[in-house]
Chain A
Amino acid sequence: MKYGRLYIEDVEVGQTVPPLVKGPLQQIQLTRYAGASGDFNPIHQDEEFARAAGMGGVFAHGMLTMGFVAQALTDWAGAGTVRKLAVRFAALVRLKDTVTCSGRVVAKSSKDDLHLVDLEVWAQNQRGEKVVTGRATLALPSRG
């Protein structure tokens, strides 16, 4: 099921979001993301600049990893379901890193026609280190 369509009745507290694996990250993706987002900070493009800034080399835009997390949610629940996404960038994502995004349902609620699911979300690298942690709220349709 590549693009899911999730109903509130399908969701239980404790359920996990199918992991989305991205990478290994290549420079061209950071360059492409810079163009698409308008964030041309050379720290994501220029190895010398990133080293001189004390960052030990180029790293990915936090927003790119956040985009991966959002994709993990919408691949599972459907496009247009994200109501809220809030993350902390816990560690840098480097070139050649593989990022796995997932989440876990912590609450669900329904009021009138509004059906909400709260999740904790995260992204981790190939060493199992969390690079992003956060929470999300999805609004889902009902079969009812």
Chain B
Amino acid sequence: MPVTIDRRLIGKEYPPFAVTVERGRIKDFARAIGDLNPFYLDDEVGRASPWGDIIAPPTFAISFRDERADSAALLRDLGVDFGRVLHGEQEFELHGQLRPGETYLCRTRIVDIYEKTGRSGPMAFVVRETAVTDRTGEIVVTMRHVTVVRL
């Protein structure tokens, strides 16, 4: 059954949410990738580093989620289920390092929706941007997610 994506979703902002980075989550994330860099895993190496503590791997912010929200909010807005979407593109811009114990504010909005026809048929591209700021309001990470919906 073909689906259509409502372009009126462009500009939609999701409720901001705060994430406090737990030391163990950084380490679990690095280990899940198989990236055993001591700057992510070894507290002593972190303490002696220019950052004074371990830092997170570059893609760590992808794990930031609004624990109070329904994780399927985007899919519900798009009117599709898990099986129809693919991760098309992803971008991280890192202005600083994510550190354990710090609390960050995440704000996500839909910035674009467009359609294209590929080899496997018509597809919609839903582009979201998430800004991650620290306690002082300074931007630390910007993420750009492109979700592909098979129509």
Interface residues of A (CB under 8 A from B): 3, 22, 29, 32-33, 35-43, 49, 52-55, 61-64, 66-68, 70-71, 73-75, 78-80, 82-89
Contact = CB atoms under 8 A, between A and B. Distances in A.
Contacts of B34: 22, 29, 68, 71
Nearest to B83: A53
Given A37-B62, A38-B65, A71 B57 contact: yes
A80 B97 contact: yes
Contacts of A71: 33-35, 37, 57
Given A67-B57, A88-B88, A37 B37 contact: no
Interface stretch (B7-15, B24-32, B106-114, B126-134): B24-32
Contacts, number: 113
Interface in B109-147: 144
Contact of A35 (B32, B91, B94): B32
Given A79-B40, A89-B86, A37 B91 contact: no
Given A35-B28, A70-B59, A80-B55, A64 B33 contact: yes
